[in-house]
Amino acid sequence: MRVEVVAIGTELLLGQIDDTNSAWMGEQLALAGLDSHFQVKVGDNTARIVEVLRTALGRSDAVICCGGLGPTQDDLTRVAIAEVMGVGLQADEEMEERIISRFAGRSRRMPENNLLQAKRPEGAEFIEQMPGTAPGLVCPMVFEGDPKVIYAVPGVPWEMKEMLQGTVLPDLQRRAGLNSVIRSRVLRTWGESESGLAELLADRIFELDRIGNPTLAFLASGAEGLKVRITAKCDTAEEAERMLAEEEARLRELLGPLVFGTDDDTMESVVLQMLRDRSMTLATAESLTGGMVGSRICDVPGASDVFLGGVISYSAAVKTSVLGVPEGPVVTEEAARRMAVGVRERLGADVAVATTGVAGPDPAEGQPPGTVCMAVVVGDPSAAGSVESIRVRLPGRRRQVREFTVITVLGMLRRRLLDHDTPGD
């Protein structure tokens, strides 16, 4: 079954919003065993949306429209689908009540134009999942003599994902007559390039190419690490999960500590759990990252039982007066080490990390952009080997340098904890 994705919104064409929705949907369709050969973007214009939908229906069996389901004058998806189906829009009283109650439950006034969202093309059904105020649609039809279907989901990512997983994908698999189960697992890695991982896994990749199931794919994710996705296709979910577990064990044996987590794990969530398991607390001292390390840590639920706080010592004066860094150059390993030791002592933490460097675009202290010094201290800084530091040159522009610094310094801490002989000390 061929499925086409149509992303609707002028803001996508102008580059004001990145179309991450289409990429995610393409991945999910592939994992569900469904072919998707085309992805199209179109602006908020009824005639052009209708043209795109007719083209899509002419070459695909199903179309997923994303966006344009709001209550404003530029939300035209419902109107365009109705025109393609050759039917009118009809108001749905039950949906009207649902939208009204949704606003009432939030103690918010409901503008009357929100009831436009309760209209659906004749013959269409609303998607059961409705996490926001915009209902999705399932629109079966006959197009040029063949049975087709259009799905319409909101452009808000978390609303779209709930509808796709709850209704759209299962419905597509039913229509396609797919009985096999496809499951995937992602291994999260840090510390090797994509080519380096491919080299480490070359023999296993060759063997899997010969066998055909499961399969491996590399997904470069920037400052989130490099992902290795395992995909298994089996008759039952139990068989698929067993195959994934066996392959994960093989890959972990080949990659060792390069693997830091699976699926939704992040470096910060993994490090926090390692510290929690060791009854250790954490403090941060940040210069070029400007609080990004602490922010990423605080994004993890429950971080407060481990993370004590941090010092954003952006100026050299603060590094000296608050953290005890000697006057002089601050883009050095020694400065990073003194920052880590200083914040650990001042906040009373067991563990501390520190970052300092040149994010760019201009050089500083004679160092080129991307020059970063990082340090980690675990336990008593007077003990041999308790403080570790590195100096690296990271790629990218200012934002990328800072993001790569976050995962690199947390990766340092993770490695240090793995080597720590007596957890809890």
Enumerate the domain spans of the chain: 3-176, 181-262, 267-419
On whether the pTM is more than 0.75, the answer is yes
- Judge whether 369 and 358 are in contact, CB under 8 Å: yes
Radius of gyration of the CA atoms of the chain, in A: 26
If one looks up domain 181-262 in CATH, what number appears? 3.30.70.2860
Residue 2 pairs in a beta bridge with 35
Q: Which residue shows structure tokens 């390069």?
A: 258
pLDDT (tens digit, 0 to 9) for every residue of the chain, 425 residues total? 999 999 999 999 999 999 999 999 998 998 888 999 999 999 999 999 999 999 999 999 999 999 999 888 888 999 999 999 999 999 999 999 998 888 877 666 777 777 889 999 999 999 999 998 899 999 999 999 999 999 999 999 999 999 999 999 999 999 999 888 888 999 999 999 889 999 999 999 999 999 999 999 998 888 899 999 999 999 898 999 999 999 999 999 999 999 999 999 999 999 999 999 999 999 999 999 999 999 999 999 999 999 999 999 999 999 999 999 999 999 999 999 999 999 999 999 999 999 999 999 999 999 999 999 999 999 999 888 899 999 999 999 999 999 999 999 999 999 999 987 544 44
Ramachandran angles phi, psi of 362, nearest 5°:
-100, 150
Whole-number Cα distances in Å, 336 to 161, 190, 213, 280, 304 = 42, 22, 47, 21, 24
Q: Are strands 351-357 and 307-312 parallel, antiparallel or unpaired?
A: unpaired
Token pair of 383, please?
A: 């003990």
What burial class does residue 44 get, using C-beta atoms within 10 Å of its C-beta: 0-12 exposed, 13-18 middle, 19+ buried? buried
Task: For 312-333, give one letter per residue: b (16+ CB within 10 A) or e.
Answer: bbeebeebbebbebeeeebbbb
The answer to whether 1 and 61 are in contact (CB under 8 A) is yes
What CATH class does 267-419 carry?
alpha beta
Q: Which CATH homologous superfamily contains domain 3-176? A: MoaB/Mog-like domain (3.40.980.10)
DSSP one-letter code for 364: B
Tally of CB atoms within 10 A around 422:
7
Amino acid at 177: G
Place of tokens 């830091």: 260
What's the CA gap between 189 and 293, in Å, rounded?
19
- The distance of Cα 41 from the centroid of its chain, to the nearest Å, equals 22
